[in-house]
Amino acid sequence: MNTIFQLLILIGGLVGIVLATVLIVKTRLARLKDLFFVSFLFSLSLNNLSNYLYEAKSLSLIPGLPFPLTLAIPVFGYLYLQTLVTPVFEINFKAKGLLMFVSFELIFYFFLLIVYFVDHSFISDNDLLVNKLFQLKELMSIFLSAALIIDLLYHLRSPISKRITPRNLKWAKIFFFMCILTATCWILMYVYSFLRYDFNRTYYYPIWYLSSIVIFCSGLYAIFFNQYKSEESSNHEEHVEAKISSTPEFDYMGHFEAVMHSGKFYKKPKLTAKEFADSCEVSVNKLTKILKDNNKNFNAFVNRCRVEEAKKLLLEKDYFKYSIEAIIEEAGFNSRATFFNVFKAHTGQTPKQYREERKRTEVQNTSVAATTPS
**CATH at residue 294:** 1.10.10.60
Give the pLDDT band of residue 217 (cuts 50, 70, 90): confident
Long-range contacts of residues 174-181, Cβ cutoff 8 Å, at least 24 apart: 174/221, 175/80, 175/81, 175/84, 175/218, 176/81, 176/152, 178/213, 178/214, 178/217, 178/218, 179/77, 179/81, 179/214, 180/149, 181/210
Q: Which of 186, 206, 228 is the last residue of a domain?
A: 228
The mean per-residue pLDDT over the stretch 227-244 comes to 42
Domain contains 322:
yes
**CATH at residue 82:** 1.20.1070
The reported pLDDT for the residue numbered 363 is: 63
216 and 236 within one domain: no
Give the pLDDT band of residue 374 (cuts 50, 70, 90): low
171 and 70 within one domain: yes
Domain contains 374:
no
State how far the Cα of 177 lies from the Cα of 141, in Å rounded to an integer: 19
Domain contains 262:
yes
Range of 355's domain?
A: 232-369
Q: Can you tell me whether residue 225 is helix, strand or coil? A: coil
322 and 296 within one domain: yes
Q: Which of 17, 151, 8 is nearest to 74 (CA)?
A: 151
Candidate from 3-7, 162-166, 269-273, 342-346 with smallest mean pLDDT: 162-166
Per-residue buried b or exposed e for 41-59, using 16+ beta carbons within 10 Å of the residue's own CB? bbbbbbbbbbbbbbbeeee
As to burial, measured by CB atoms within 10 angstroms (0-12 exposed, 13-18 middle, 19+ buried), residue 119 is: exposed
Question: 104 pLDDT exceeds 90?
Answer: yes
DSSP tag of 247: -
Compare 91 and 147 and report the one with higher pLDDT.
147
Q: Which of 224, 311, 235, 243 is nearest to 273 (CA)?
A: 235
Q: Which of 162, 193, 228 is the last residue of a domain?
A: 228
Look at the chain and report how many structural domains it folds into. Answer: 2
How many other β-carbons are positioned within 10 Å of the β-carbon of residue 213? 14
As to burial, measured by CB atoms within 10 angstroms (0-12 exposed, 13-18 middle, 19+ buried), residue 78 is: buried
Residue 307, H or E segment: helix 298-315
Give the pLDDT band of residue 98 (cuts 50, 70, 90): very high
DSSP tag of 187: H
Question: 238 pLDDT exceeds 50?
Answer: no
State how far the Cα of 183 lies from the Cα of 185, in Å rounded to an integer: 5
292 and 176 within one domain: no
The reported pLDDT for the residue numbered 64 is: 61
- Which value, to the nearest 10 degrees, does the dihedral of the CA atoms of residues 260, 264, 270, 276 take? -30
327 and 195 within one domain: no
> Is 0.85 surpassed by the pTM of this model?
no
266 and 205 within one domain: no
49 and 194 within one domain: yes
323 and 341 within one domain: yes
Question: 220 pLDDT exceeds 60?
Answer: yes
* Helix-strand-coil split of the chain, %, nearest 5: 80, 0, 20
Give tens-digit pLDDT for 31-66. Answer: 788 899 999 999 999 988 888 887 776 555 566 677
Give the pLDDT band of residue 96 (cuts 50, 70, 90): very high
159 and 49 within one domain: yes
The reported pLDDT for the residue numbered 298 is: 92
Give the pLDDT band of residue 367 (cuts 50, 70, 90): low
333 and 210 within one domain: no
The mean per-residue pLDDT over the stretch 121-149 comes to 87
Percentage of the residues of the chain whose pLDDT score is greater than 70: 83
Give tens-digit pLDDT for 297-338. Answer: 999 999 999 999 888 888 887 777 777 888 888 888 888 888
The reported pLDDT for the residue numbered 244 is: 33
273 and 350 within one domain: yes
Candidate from 150-154, 238-242, 294-298, 310-314 with smallest mean pLDDT: 238-242
The reported pLDDT for the residue numbered 239 is: 43
Q: Which of 228, 251, 271 is the last residue of a domain?
A: 228
201 and 287 within one domain: no
Give tens-digit pLDDT for 189-201. Answer: 888 888 877 777 7
Domain contains 308:
yes
